[in-house]
């Protein structure tokens, strides 16, 4: 049986704030490899950069399951898919965010005859409830529970962790201030937790992310 490449939109619940984070996810059945592309901020308030991770997006505790199916392509198209996505430009417009980045990716795939407009329309019907700002901020109690989770090694710097605006709203569409950006580098994350006795402890988590 001919193996295929399946394209998905991964939607992540925000840690808090008003926006879901989106990523483009690719599963190559021939190699059983996963690839994700998303737009993140390298630091709080900074410009967006594209991020690539060779991981199953469902490894993140905040990724909504099931993924939103977009299309199926022949396995021979994998290089064309990667090349198309890597050619999608990051925008600097104030109202542009990770959700727009995924939409731009799919439009580029349509132009290269890798996805049809009908497939995109069907995916949009599924993902549109998670587009734009939610009417209410994500449940604070859920946020507290999520903050205690243990991430897989690939998601120590979780692509769906968001930075906040002045009101606590994720103005960027949700992005990790600790994400490594488009170059190979070692990333370091310092997580501080205060105990009930107000004794400050420091946990250092070192993660190597290959982008």
pLDDT in tens, 128-182: 999 998 876 665 435 444 444 433 333 333 334 443 333 222 333 333 322 333 3
pLDDT over 70 percentage in the chain? 63
Q: Which residues pair with 187 in a beta bridge?
A: 207
pLDDT in tens, 40-81: 987 777 899 999 999 999 999 999 999 999 999 999 999 999
DSSP 66: S
**Could you report how far apart the first and last alpha carbons of the chain are, in Å?**
32
**Stronger pLDDT, 115 or 178, i.e. the higher one:** 115
**Alpha-carbon dihedral 135, 57, 182, 74, rounded to 10 degrees:** -120
Task: Please give the pLDDT value at position 194.
Answer: 34
Task: Please give the pLDDT value at position 207.
Answer: 36
Task: Please give the pLDDT value at position 131.
Answer: 95
Asked whether the predicted pLDDT for residue 36 surpasses 60, the reply is: yes
pLDDT mean across residues, the chain: 73
Handedness of CA 82, 33, 25, 1 (dihedral sign): positive
Residue 60: count other Cβ atoms within 10 Å of its Cβ: 25
Respond yes or no on whether the N-terminal peptide bond of residue 66 is cis (omega within 30° of 0).
yes
Asked whether the predicted pLDDT for residue 32 surpasses 50, the reply is: yes
Global pTM reads: 0.67
Between CA 27 and CA 37 the distance in angstroms is 12
Task: Please give the pLDDT value at position 142.
Answer: 53
Looking at 81-85, 118-122, 176-180, which range is the least confident one?
176-180
Residue 30: count other Cβ atoms within 10 Å of its Cβ: 13
């Amino acid at each position: 049986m001919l193996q295929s490449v399946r394209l998905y939109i991964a939607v992540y619940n925000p840690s808090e704030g008003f926006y879901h984070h989106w990523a483009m996810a690719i599963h190559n059945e021939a190699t059983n490899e996963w690839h994700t592309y998303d737009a993140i901020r390298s630091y709080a308030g900074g410009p967006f950069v594209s991020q690539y991770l060779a991981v199953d997006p469902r490894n993140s505790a905040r990724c909504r399951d099931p993924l939103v199916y977009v299309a199926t392509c022949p396995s021979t198209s994998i290089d064309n898919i990667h090349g198309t996505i890597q050619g999608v430009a990051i925008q600097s417009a104030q109202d542009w965010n990770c959700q727009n980045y995924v939409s731009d990716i799919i439009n580029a795939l349509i132009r290269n005859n890798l996805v049809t407009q009908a497939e995109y329309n069907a995916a949009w019907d599924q993902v549109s409830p998670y587009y734009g700002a939610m009417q209410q901020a994500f449940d604070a109690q859920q946020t507290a529970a999520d903050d205690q989770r243990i991430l897989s090694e690939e998601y120590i710097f979780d692509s769906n962790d968001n930075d906040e605006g002045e009101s606590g709203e994720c103005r960027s569409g949700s992005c990790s201030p600790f994400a490594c950006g488009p170059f190979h580098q070692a990333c370091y994350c310092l997580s501080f937790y205060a105990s009930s006795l107000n004794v400050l402890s420091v946990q250092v988590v070192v993660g190597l992310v290959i982008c």
